[in-house]
Amino acid sequence: MDLTGNASLARETLRTMWTIRRFEEAVDDLFARGLMHGTMHLSIGQEAVPAGACLALADGDYITSTHRGHGHCIAKGARLDAMMAELLAKETGYCRGRGGSMHIADVATGNLGANGIVAGGVPIASGAGLAVKLRGGQQVVLSFFGDGAVNEGAWHEGVNLAAIWDLPVVFVCENNHYGMSMSAKRAAKVDRLGDRAAAYGIPGVTVDGNDPQEVFDAVSAAVARARAGDGPSLVEAMTYRWKGHSKSDKNLYRTREEIESWRERDPIVRFERAAITAGALSEEDAAECRDEARDRVRAAIRTANAAPDASAASLTDAVYAGSQS
């Protein structure tokens, strides 16, 4: 499917990317003003990966996410007000204030949760794939992780299990070039992390992660294989985070020039131009997507801010499921 050629697909892709961008800009602003607790990992500059990948999924499909997970959440269809409420430590947040940015999950839309442990979600994705297979279901599980995760034992073990049992899993590596400060080039000997697939006997590709079309095509092919029972695949999407790893990053491990060169390759601006050039969208349509994203984020902040703060009175509830407390 041609995302830049088809008006409704182009609009959906653009709207998703702008929503992620605006949501994270607002979060950045709130944190900077001291209105947000904890820490934040922003994916500004990487929006094309979740937007393109989640477009290739159907309702009922699962994802596992990471500490840099706002984009995955939004692209999978999470409610912005419940996300924002969580970040603002409200009782109406996705995790009732218990989880914060790093642990947002939305089981209703198949998001099994952001994870603060790098590669923690990879074996979990394989396990969800195993459940689908045992139940004879048709769902696919898409596991997002960063370049930093591929050297964790959990990553290798999770990918290998999915491979030997032909589980319906798509492993999507968002290679944003750095695991905190460690360059992906220094952390692995292979030039392309997509090539690692060969070691597990599964297909692997490396695509331009700043182009939602390339991401969408590669993930669509992998999803089709998974649904057909042909097992997992690995998709490496090359992208870049504009912001620091978290909140106290002095950017000592990279140059301003490098950051600048990637900002020039803004995935959203690029897609917008391509869709306008292809005639799928007018300038007005693009502006409308932007305004809509802004208005949705504003409404989410208003709703979340008016909600009651998470209460300590029931703090010990929900440590265990059922009546036990």
Partner 1 sequence: MVAKEVALVMPKMSMTMTEGVFVAWHKAAGDRIRQGDVVCEVTTDKVDMEVEATVDGVLARLVARPEDVIAVGEPIAYVESEADDLLEGLFDAPEASGPVPEEPRAPEPQPVRAAEKRGVAAVPAARRLAAERGVDLAALTPTGPWGTIRVADLPAGRLAKPAPARGRAAVARRMTPSALVPQFVLYRDVDLAGAERARNGASWTAVFVHVLAAALRAHPAFNASWSGDTLVRHEGVAVALAVDTPRGLLAPVLTDPDLCGLDELGSRVADVVSRAKAGKLGLAELSAPATTTVSNLGGLGVGAFQALLTPPQASALAMGAVERKVVPVPDGVGVRLRCSLGLTVDHRVADGADGARLLSTVQELLDGGLV
Partner 2 sequence: MTTTESRTLTYAEAVREALSQAMEADERVFLLGEDVGTYGGAFGVTGDLVHRFGEERVRDTPISELGIVGAAVGAALAGMRPIVEIQFSDFTAQAMDQIVNQAAKIHFMLGGAATVPMVLRAPGGSGTGAAAQHSQSLEAWFAHVPGLKVVMPATAADAKGLLLAAIDDPNPVIVLEHKLLYKQSGVVPQSPARVRLGETAVRRDGTDLTIVATGVMVSRALEAAEQLAATGIEAAVLDPRTLRPLDSKTIVDSVTATGRALLVQEAPKTGGFMAEVSAAIVESPAFGHLTAPVTRLCGLDVPIPYAPQLEKAAVPQTEDIVKAATGLVNQW
Signed CA dihedral, 216, 221, 226, 228: sign only: positive
For the chain, strand residue ranges (E) read 62-64, 141-146, 169-175, 178-179, 182-183, 204-208, 233-238
Total residues interacting with partner 1, rule: CB under 8 A: 37
Q: Cα–Cα distance between 263 and 107 in angstroms, integer?
A: 33
Stretch that binds partner 1, among 19-27, 109-117, 163-171, 187-195 (CB under 8 A): 19-27
309 binds partner 1, rule: CB under 8 A: yes
Sole binder of partner 2 in the list 1, 58, 108, 117 (CB under 8 A): 117
200 binds, among partner 2, partner 1, none (CB under 5 to 8 A by kind): none
CB 101 within 8 A of CB 38: yes
Which residues, numbered 36-55, are part of the site for partner 1 (CB under 8 A)? Answer: 37-39
31 binds partner 1, rule: CB under 8 A: yes
Residue with structure tokens 């294989």? 225
Stretch that binds partner 2, among 8-16, 57-65, 112-120, 202-210 (CB under 8 A): 112-120
Q: Cα–Cα distance between 37 and 247 in angstroms, integer?
A: 11
CB 109 within 8 A of CB 78: yes
271 binds partner 1, rule: CB under 8 A: no
CB 33 within 8 A of CB 255: no
Which residues, numbered 25-44, are part of the site for partner 2 (CB under 8 A)? Answer: 37-39
CB 16 within 8 A of CB 10: no
308 binds partner 1, rule: CB under 8 A: no
181 binds, among partner 2, partner 1, none (CB under 5 to 8 A by kind): partner 2
3-state per-residue secondary structure call for 154-194? HHHHHHHHHHHCCCCEEEEEEECCEECCEEHHHHCCCCCHH
DSSP assigned state of 209: T
Closest CA to 95 of 297, 303, 315: 315
Shortest Å distance, C-beta 57 to partner 1: 28
Which residues, numbered 87-146, are part of the site for partner 1 (CB under 8 A)? Answer: 89
269 binds partner 1, rule: CB under 8 A: no
Which residues, numbered 263-322, are part of the site for partner 2 (CB under 8 A)? Answer: 309-312, 315-316, 319
Sole binder of partner 1 in the list 183, 263, 273, 277 (CB under 8 A): 263
Shortest Å distance, C-beta 48 to partner 2: 24
Sole binder of partner 1 in the list 135, 136, 228, 256 (CB under 8 A): 256
Shortest Å distance, C-beta 226 to partner 1: 37
